Amino acid sequence: MNLKELAEKLGLSPTTVSRALNGYPEVNEATRERVAAAARRHNYRPNARAIRLATGRALAVGHVIPLNTRTEIMNPIFSDFIAGAGEIYSRSGYDMILSIVPDEAEEATYRDLMSRGTVDGVIVHGPKTNDPRIKVLKDLGLPFVVHGRATGSELDYNWVDVNNRRAFQRATEFLLHLGHRRIALVNGLEHMDFAIRRRAGFTEALASQSLNPDPGLMSSDEMTEISGYRAGLRALDHPQPATAFLAASMLQGMGLRRAIEGRGLHMGRDVSVIIFDDDLSYLRNGEDVPIFTATRSSVRDAGRLSAEMLLGVITQPGTPPQHRLLEAELILGQSTGPVAIGPAPAP
Amino acid sequence: MNLKELAEKLGLSPTTVSRALNGYPEVNEATRERVAAAARRHNYRPNARAIRLATGRALAVGHVIPLNTRTEIMNPIFSDFIAGAGEIYSRSGYDMILSIVPDEAEEATYRDLMSRGTVDGVIVHGPKTNDPRIKVLKDLGLPFVVHGRATGSELDYNWVDVNNRRAFQRATEFLLHLGHRRIALVNGLEHMDFAIRRRAGFTEALASQSLNPDPGLMSSDEMTEISGYRAGLRALDHPQPATAFLAASMLQGMGLRRAIEGRGLHMGRDVSVIIFDDDLSYLRNGEDVPIFTATRSSVRDAGRLSAEMLLGVITQPGTPPQHRLLEAELILGQSTGPVAIGPAPAP
DNA sequence: GCCCTCCTCCAAATCGCTTTGACACCCCTT
DNA sequence: AAGGGGTGTCAAAGCGATTTGGAGGAGGGC
pLDDT score at B259: 96
Statement: residue A59 has pLDDT above 80: yes
Among B47, B97, B100, the strongest candidate for a mutation testing the A interface, having the largest count of A CBs within 10 A, is B100
Helices (H), chain B: 3-10, 14-21, 29-41, 48-55, 78-92, 106-115, 132-140, 164-177, 193-208, 225-236, 250-262, 299-315
CB A201 within 8 A of CB A164: yes
- CATH 1.10.260.40 residue ranges of chain B are 3-55
**Residue B87 with chain A: CB contacts under 8 Å:** 100
Please report the residues numbered 203 through 242 in chain A whose beta carbons come closer than 8 angstroms to any beta carbon of chain B.
222-226
* B50 CB and strand D closer than 7 A: yes
CATH 3.40.50.2300 placement within chain A: 60-161+298-326, 164-297
Closest-CA residue to B68 (of B219, B192, B199): B192
Nearest to A284 among B52, B223, B224 (CB): B224
Nucleotide in closest CA–C1' contact with A1? C16
Tell me: pLDDT of A345 over 60.
no
Q: Is A58 on the interface with B (CB under 8 A)?
A: yes
Q: Specify the pLDDT at position A7.
A: 93
Report the C-alpha gap between B246 and B274 in whole angstroms: 5
Q: Give the span between the Cα atoms of B223 and A75, in whole angstroms.
A: 19
Listed by range, residues with Cβ under 7 angstroms from strand C are: A 2-4, 14-15, 18-19, 21-22, 46-47, 49-51, 53-55; B 11-16, 26-29, 31, 53-54, 56
CB A221 within 8 A of CB A189: yes
- The per-residue pLDDT for A340 is 79
Q: With H, G, I as helix, E, B as strand and everything else as coil, classify residue B38.
A: helix
Give strand letter and number of the nucleotide nearest B32 (CA to C1'): C8
B107 and A CB contact within 8 Å: no
Q: Cβ–Cβ contacts within 10 Å for residue A213, how many? A: 17
* Closest alpha carbon within chain A to B61: A97
The answer to whether the C-beta of A9 is closer than 7 A to strand D is: no
From B99, B226, B254, residue closest to A284, measured CB to CB: B226
Chain B residues near residue A279 by CB distance under 8 angstroms: none
The nearest CA of chain B is from the CA of A278 a distance in Å of: 14
Q: Is the predicted pLDDT of residue B153 greater than 80, yes or no?
A: no
pLDDT surpasses 90 at A3: yes
pLDDT of residue B288 exceeding 90, the answer is no
Q: pLDDT digits over B309-346, tens only?
A: 999 999 998 899 999 999 999 999 999 999 976 554 44
A346 pLDDT band, cuts 50/70/90, is very low
CB B10 within 8 A of CB B40: no
pLDDT of residue B72: 81
Q: State residue A151's pLDDT score.
A: 84
Calculate mean pLDDT across residues B18-47. Answer: 93
Q: What are phi and psi of A302, to 5 degrees?
A: -60, -35
Q: B215-226 pLDDT, tens per residue? A: 999 999 999 999
Contacts of B72 (CB under 8 A, 6+ apart): A83, A281
| Closest to A330 (Cα-Cα) out of A302, A290, A286, A303 | A290
Q: How many helices (H) and strands (E) does chain A have?
A: 12, 12
Instruction: Determine the Cα–Cα distance for residues B6 and B9; give it in Å rounded to an integer.
Output: 5
CB-CB contact of A100 with A75 (8 Å):
no
Top-tier CATH class for A60-161+298-326: alpha beta
Comparing A213-217, A339-343, B97-101, B144-148, the range with the smallest average pLDDT is A339-343
The band of A342, judged by pLDDT with boundaries at 50, 70 and 90, is low
Confidence bin at B252 (pLDDT 50/70/90): very high
Which has the higher per-residue pLDDT, B75 or B211? Answer: B211
Q: What is the mean pLDDT of residues A104-133?
A: 93
Q: Give me the numbers of helices (H) and strands (E) for chain B, helices first please.
A: 12, 12
**Nearest CB neighbour to A100, from listed B74, B90, B112:** B90
pLDDT confidence of residue A318: 87
CATH 3.40.50.2300 fits B164-297, yes or no: yes
pLDDT bin (cut points 50, 70, 90) of residue B48 is very high
Q: For the segment B226-245, what is each residue's pLDDT rounded down to a tens digit?
A: 999 999 999 999 999 999 99
Predicted pLDDT at B346: 46
CATH number given to B3-55: 1.10.260.40
